Amino acid sequence: MKNNKQIIFIHGGDGFRDLEKLYTMLRSRNFNPYQEKKYWREAVIAATTETHECHTLKMPNPNWADYTAWSIWFEKMVPYMRDEVVLVGHSLGGGFLLRYVSENKLPVPIAQLHLVAPVVTGDLEDCEGFTTDLAVWQGFKSEIKEVHLWHSSDDPYVPIAHSEALLAAWPKATLHSFTNRGHFIGEDFPELLTAIQRVV
């Protein structure tokens, strides 16, 4: 194996339970077959290719996301995880990782858990099953060395209050707050890259 370190990325999605809402979203979404869109995940992978083995898990039915289906698929990756794995979840993917490692103990320690604009509390529509009730939350079952929350106050989809609520419940986390990153859909994320590269 070329690299011993691992990064596993979990993308976002929508937990629609109303077909008409899904159809409306699809009709309103821009489409251009000639426009190549790049995301910060690709930049992080390119910058760590010599030091990390990177996996971007394509979760089932991201526009009709189901927590149980995502868990089944995620667990197919678990036997391949190595000690000090880095987990990165964006949006609904952040909500998924938060719930999963809170309810399940991974067989390896997690060096860093990065939750980027994560869905946490249950005040958002179309996130069914991916939220965490912090009133009864008892922390993480998996062993995690560092928890990083990344959120911007101008996020149009997931309010920064979600990360702030998790920080209040888990003060050992580090909240990296911004004012101009929206929902973190840009091409670069140098701060996240720097944090990952600190893992030795």
CATH code for the domain in which residue 45 is found: 3.40.50.1820
Domain count, the chain: 1
The model's pLDDT over 131-183, given as tens digits with 9 standing for 90+, comes to 999 999 999 999 999 999 999 999 999 999 999 999 999 999 999 999 999 99
Amino acid at 134: L
Report which of 64, 124, 86 is spatially closest to residue 10, judged by C-alpha positions.
86
Strand partners, 9: 56, 88
pTM, to two decimals: 0.93
Q: Which domain holds residue 167?
A: 5-29+36-197
The model's pLDDT over 17-65, given as tens digits with 9 standing for 90+, comes to 888 988 998 899 888 888 777 899 999 999 999 999 999 999 999 889 9
Identify the pLDDT of residue 19. Answer: 87
List the Cα angle 29/30/36 in 5-degree steps: 130
Angle between the N-to-C axes of helices 92-103 and 67-74, in degrees from 0 to 180, rounded to the nearest 10: 70
Q: Does residue 1 carry a pLDDT above 50? A: no
Q: Does residue 15 carry a pLDDT above 70? A: yes
Token pair belonging to 66? 């189901």
At residue 161, the 3 state secondary structure works out as helix
